[in-house]
Structure 1
Amino acid sequence: MNELLVGDIGGTNARFALWRDNQLHAVRVLPTADYTSLEQAIQAYLHEQGIARGELAAICLAVAGPVDGDEFQFTNNHWRLSRRAFCDMLQVKQLLLLNDFSAMALGMTRLLPGEFQAVCAGDADPARPALVIGPGTGLGVGSLLHLNQQQWMAVPGEGGHVDLPVGNAREAAIHQQMQSQIGHVSAETVLSGGGLVRLYQAMCALDGVQPVHLSPAEVTEAALAGEPQALAVIEQFCCFLGRVAGNNVLTLGARGGVYIVGGVIPRFAELFLRSGFAASFADKGCMSGYFAGIPVWLVTAEFSGLLGAGVALQQTMSLPRN
């Protein structure tokens, strides 16, 4: 057999699938806490699929962190990986490690109807970069380039760590409140799961309101239930995301469109779609007209990282060999 295995390794769960006919098959989600090593988790998956060691042609894993060198320490769980030992144990000749947000970006090339919805209407220019940005545990930012009919390139970056942009007096007050507490305020300081709570606490302090919510889920649930303070926090979160996304579009020339990904926004998708995101996105003074016609999509696909790992593996396998 010449099976291809793809994986998307997170802090809590590891997702695995077989890549056949340019599609995912037999997707499984395994808790990382249940396995002492990545190899053990993969062996459990292969056993479930009736695949023996030595029957895999190649593996591609999307992982959080830099992917150079033989040794890899997962930044969000207890696993470690030696490329050489890994390949020897599983009897696989080719292992491709891919930055998790690069995989997420490549996954945008395989979205199906129903897995995304329009936030801002427009026509993407395929000759220009697309921006992929996603609030989750942190704030991921990357770009996607269409090289030719069959090839895409994901370019990772650290755009989540740019300074948090300020567009009005209220945002300046929020920034000052947060800076007095933590020092430097990056975009990720606010635009992440933990950042949502940090924003809630800052806005409560400014408004003289006693904070009662301790987690992102609590803030989100309160907003969905109509609580005014939580609603104001979600609105401000969306506006900050618009400003950061707009800044990245100008920097990249990203007229190929913008994909909003990650686990945070889909939890309050309807509030996001009604928010001030679009206005803040294009609020760039003399350059505001630049944003006319740039499409923005909210992505709700469940396994974009796995899809991207499959795309990366397929592109690698199809390259000519010297």
Structure 2
Amino acid sequence: MIAHTQAHTQAPTQAQPKTDTPSYPLLLADIGGTNARFAIETAHGELQAVKVLPCAAYPSLEDALHSYLHDAASLAAGAHQLRHAGIAIANPIHGDQVRMTNHHWEFSISATRHQFGLERLDVVNDFTALALSLPHLQPHQYFQVGGHQALAGSAIGLLGAGTGLGVSGLIPAGERWLPLHSEGGHASFTPANAKEVAILEFAWREFPHVSAERLLSGPGLVLIYRALAELLQAAVAPLEAPDILQRGLQRECAICSEVLSTFCEMLGTMAANLAVTLGARAGIYIGGGIVPRLGDYLLQSGFRARFEDKGRFRDYLAAIPVYVITEAYPALIGLSALHRQQSADR
């Protein structure tokens, strides 16, 4: 859902590029549970003063915004002229008050608009913004992991692991794409073999409901690491997700490597479930902070084999391409596209 501070709301849509007159400069912000990414768009596709701020370093979104807007690069890009802004945030959007699921920030959309002197402030779920970017990504901004060509006129699926697990998609509607307002990361985790059942049972000791996000996320890497250590009866030092990722990729730690292997296979199941649920024959896109960092590891892992492991639907899945988004700021591209479309609709 997109929340507006103006008198009306409308379902977010994405059209093919068309002539419009959006207002520049435009403030764009992508707020995750760990980092907040800011930019000022000065013309179509021209992002200036791109900056990433750690959320933990600021008591509130307002404090982070104030810091960004008073940065020298932001001022040079026209921060003092801003009247319109778009925020993508890792959270469901229901009404004016926003309270983040994976971070302590909370704010009023209308109060934030007033505080920063904005005429218009649109707030949308981060994976809705990411979904809206997909028709605008170029081949150098992603790479393909198996499958054939995308089937025109079909749905597109999207998921991404970072601090949490985001899920969305695009449904074709004439010349437009309708983004899904999904919280699919909170669907129950589905194990596919005895090892994953054991990991699920380990997680159940701490969480009465084990969602896909509990395992397919940064905290999930830590949970899988702890579960495998117990399963293998190995004494291991406590590690955080970045260390597990680095040691696993460099094969410095056998259990860390097993964590990444297990993670990739679990992700394959999740991606396949999304594909068959949506009928996403135009492809599955994967974003977030973890998978793009895997690079060639994902290609060599069991991800694609698990993605296609759907019994009688193996051939159906084998045809569907999977794309890993490598663009650093895709949600900002989606916010920009949303702003252009809404400007054209006025």
Q: TM-score if structure 2 supplies the norm length?
A: 0.83
Match of residue 238, structure 1, among 264, 271, 274: 264
Q: Which residue of 2 aligns with 1:266?
A: 292
Secondary structure (helix, strand or coil) at the match of 2:226 reads helix
Equivalent of 2:186, from 161, 170, 185? 161
Runs ≥4 residues deviating over 4 A: 74-80
1:222 — aligned with what?
A: 247
**Inter-partner Cα distance in structure 1 for 2:206 and 2:106:** 35
Partner of 2:11: none
**Structure 1: unaligned runs, 5 residues or longer:** none
Matches within 5 A, 1:39-58: 40-41=66-67, 43-44=69-70, 48-49=75-76, 51=78, 53=80, 55-58=81-84
1:3 aligns with 2:25: yes
Q: Do structure 1's residue 15 and structure 2's residue 37 form an aligned pair? A: yes
Does the 8 Å contact 2:83/2:118 carry over to 1? yes
Q: Report the Cα distance in structure 2 between the residues aligned to 1:78 and 1:40, rounded to whole angstroms.
A: 18
Distance 2:114 2:206 in 1: 49
User: How is 1:89-168 mapped onto 2 (pairs within 5 angstroms)?
Assistant: 89-149=115-175, 151-168=176-193
With 245-254 and 8-17 compared, the bigger mean Cα shift is at 8-17
- Which consecutive unaligned segments of at least 5 residues does structure 2 have? 1-22
Residues in 2 aligned to 1:118 and 1:189: alpha-carbon distance in whole angstroms: 26
Q: Which residue of 1 aligns with 2:51?
A: 29
Between the aligned partners of 2:114 and 2:221, the Cα distance in structure 1 is 43
More displaced 10-residue stretch of structure 1: 129-138 or 20-29 = 20-29
Query: Match of 1:114, as an amino acid?
Result: H
8 Å contact from structure 1 (residues 30, 41) kept in 2: no
Distance (whole Å) between structure 1 residues aligned to residue 209 and residue 58 of structure 2? 37
Kept in 1, the 8 Å contact 2:42–2:48? The answer is no
Does structure 2 retain, via aligned residues, the 8 Å contact 1:138–1:188? yes
The CA deviation string for residues 287-321 of structure 1, in whole angstroms up to 9 with x for no partner, is: 222113110011111001111111111111111x3
Percent of matched pairs sharing the same residue:
34
1:203 maps to 2:228: yes
Cα distance per residue 1:87-142 (max 9 Å; x no partner) = 33433322111111111111222223322111113111231111111011011111
SS of structure 1 residue aligned to 2:180: strand
Give the match for residue 182 of structure 1.
207
Q: Structure 1's 252 and 51: CA in aligned 2 closer, same or farther, altered over 3 A?
A: same
**Distance apart, 1:241 and its partner CA:** 0.5
- What are the superposed Cα offsets for residues 190-247 of structure 1, whole Å, 9 maximum, x if unpaired? 1000101111111111111112241112212221232322212211110011011111
In the alignment of these two chains, the number of paired residues is 318
Asked whether the 8 Å contact 1:35–1:41 carries over to 2, the reply is no
RMSD: 2.4
* C-alpha spacing 1:224/1:173, structure 2 compared with 1 (3 Å): same
Match of 1:85 among 111, 115, 121: 111
Q: Which amino acid aligns with 1:51?
A: G
1:66 aligns to what SS in structure 2?
coil
- CA deviation profile, 1:130-174 (whole Å, cap 9, x unmatched): 11110110111111234344x332212121122222222232233
- Structure 1 pair 175–77 and aligned structure 2 pair: CA distance change class (3 A): closer
The 3 A distance-change label for structure 1 pair 251 and 50 is: closer
Residue 143 of structure 2 aligns to a residue whose secondary structure is strand
In 2: Cα distance, 1:52 partner to 1:262 partner = 28
**Secondary structure at 1:126's aligned position in 2?**
coil
